[in-house]
Amino acid sequence: MRISTIFKKGFLKYLLFFTLLNFILYFFIWGLGQKTKINVVDYNVGYHYFPDPRALGQKPDIFKSLLVFDAQWYMKIVAEGYPKILGNLPLQKLAVADAATYAFFPLYPMVVFLVNKMVNNIPLTIFIFSNFLILFNFLLLYLFIKTIDSDRVAIKTALLTFLFPMAIVLRSGYAETFFLTLLIIFSYLISKKKFSSAAVIYGLMTITKANSFPLVLILIYEALKSQGKFSLIKKIQHTIFLLFLSGLPLAIFIYYCFQKTGNPFIFLKVRALWYSNTLNWPWLLFSHLLDNLYAMVEFPFLKFHQFASSKVEVVTVALILYLLIKSYRKIPSFLWYISFLFWLFPILTTTLLSYTRYQVVSFPIFYFLAKKLMGWRYVILLAAFVVGIFIVSRYFVGWYWVG
């Protein structure tokens, strides 16, 4: 699609509105930084590669104010790479500041590292790169949805996706923003039945965020569905080829982990550092599932929001499930399955600690809402999202755990 066609359709005014709203949000965050003290309790729980200046009694830095919790680990990788450790030692004997680095996949910090070669300031680099990706993804998502739906629905989808209250993390040093870029491209390639290219993009997703892992099921299913008249041998050959393409990046990272630590799956093992010092993977998975089910049962007794299980996270699980039920067969099946897997995979494999944050990349849910809600109903939801992102940002930059 030509750029002139996009502008002719009125997209430019929505992009300018979105850009202006982002500017106001950053100005709001800058103002908060001048007045708001950090939450010492949650701040002390987190890791600090670059300490927040406010914690040292210094003037706030808007770039560093956005780099909370997991963003600190990515900055460490950008600056130092992955450390050499003995990955087969018991968890209790591993230095957390070194071992936990392997829980964060390499593609996003690798790209930030390359960009930082020009800027030579990691916090500033992340701020610039994140904002570039926000605007690029806004355009990319609009263009993709426009290939399967109307111009109006495409714009509405983009606005809902990037103004969702938890989308403050897309403006920080988290990998979700870059992951969303790959996810939109992956979805477009699936829709156009370009499965080899989709496999390459999927492979890059696997070394960006672990919640991409189950999407291989969509890739293989859609590829096999498109080959209905092919012989069984050809289907098997093509499936093996797609699995090779999609698995190669993760295989390289696994080999790298083996070379650096002696444990090829150190990135799975060290996840236990956040939850338990006694259980190892895969036993940790069963513990997570039981904890998640228990959190749903004890919902009335949970705190509204806290660092561990909370009402907010359980409500998100229920709300996304409700929207999945309502959207079944109302959006393209492969998009529905993307959101379904994003809903299910964290419940099966980790705690509800960051569950709401994981859903910020689930754009098919926002696409369904854009299709479903018309007129004042859509305006009310969008307004609620805008108010919500300002409220969440106040806590986010103050080092309150928001998911």
CA-CA distance, 66 to 310, in Å (whole number)? 23
Tell me the one-letter amino acid at 247: G
Quote the tokens at residue 60: 């706030």
Prior bond to 165 cis, omega within 30?
no
Nearest residue to 52 (alpha-carbon basis) of 121, 119, 63, 41: 63
pLDDT value at residue 196: 95
pLDDT value at residue 245: 95
CA-CA distance, 120 to 73, in Å (whole number)? 18
Which ranges constitute the DSSP H helices of 207-354?
216-225, 232-261, 266-269, 283-297, 311-327, 333-349
Spell out the domain ranges in the chain.
Answer: 3-396
Give percent of the chain above pLDDT 90. Answer: 61
CA dihedral 67, 71, 76, 81 (to 10 degrees): -140
SS3 18: helix
Residue 281 has pLDDT above 70, yes or no: no
Tell me the one-letter amino acid at 290: L
pLDDT value at residue 46: 82
CB atoms within 10 A of CB 373: 16
CA-CA distance, 216 to 182, in Å (whole number)? 14
SS3 279: coil
Q: Could you tell me if 148 and 332 are in contact, meaning their C-beta atoms sit under 8 angstroms apart?
A: yes
In this predicted model, which residue has the larger pLDDT, 147 or 352?
147
pLDDT value at residue 7: 55
Q: Convert the pLDDT of each residue in 20-40 to its tens digit.
A: 999 999 988 887 766 677 888
293: Cβ contacts below 8 Å, ≥ 6 apart? none
CA-CA distance, 206 to 179, in Å (whole number)? 9
Q: Convert the pLDDT of each residue in 41-70 to its tens digit.
A: 888 888 888 888 888 888 877 788 889 899
* DSSP conformational letter for 168: G
Quote the tokens at residue 156: 């509405």
Mean pLDDT across the chain: 89
CA-CA distance, 389 to 180, in Å (whole number)? 18
Q: What is the pTM of this model?
A: 0.93
Q: Could you tell me if 198 and 186 are in contact, meaning their C-beta atoms sit under 8 angstroms apart?
A: yes
Residue 245 phi, psi dihedral angles, 5° rounding: -60, -45
pLDDT value at residue 278: 52
Let me know how long the chain is: 403
Mean pLDDT (whole number) for 361-375: 96
Mean pLDDT (whole number) for 314-342: 96
By CB atoms closer than 10 A (0-12, 13-18, 19+), residue 309 is: buried
Q: Could you tell me if 68 and 402 are in contact, meaning their C-beta atoms sit under 8 angstroms apart?
A: no
Q: How many CA atoms lie within 13 A of 164 on its CB side?
A: 26
Q: Could you tell me if 249 and 204 are in contact, meaning their C-beta atoms sit under 8 angstroms apart?
A: yes
CA-CA distance, 201 to 219, in Å (whole number)? 11
pLDDT value at residue 101: 93
Sole residue written with tokens 């890791």: 47
pLDDT value at residue 37: 77
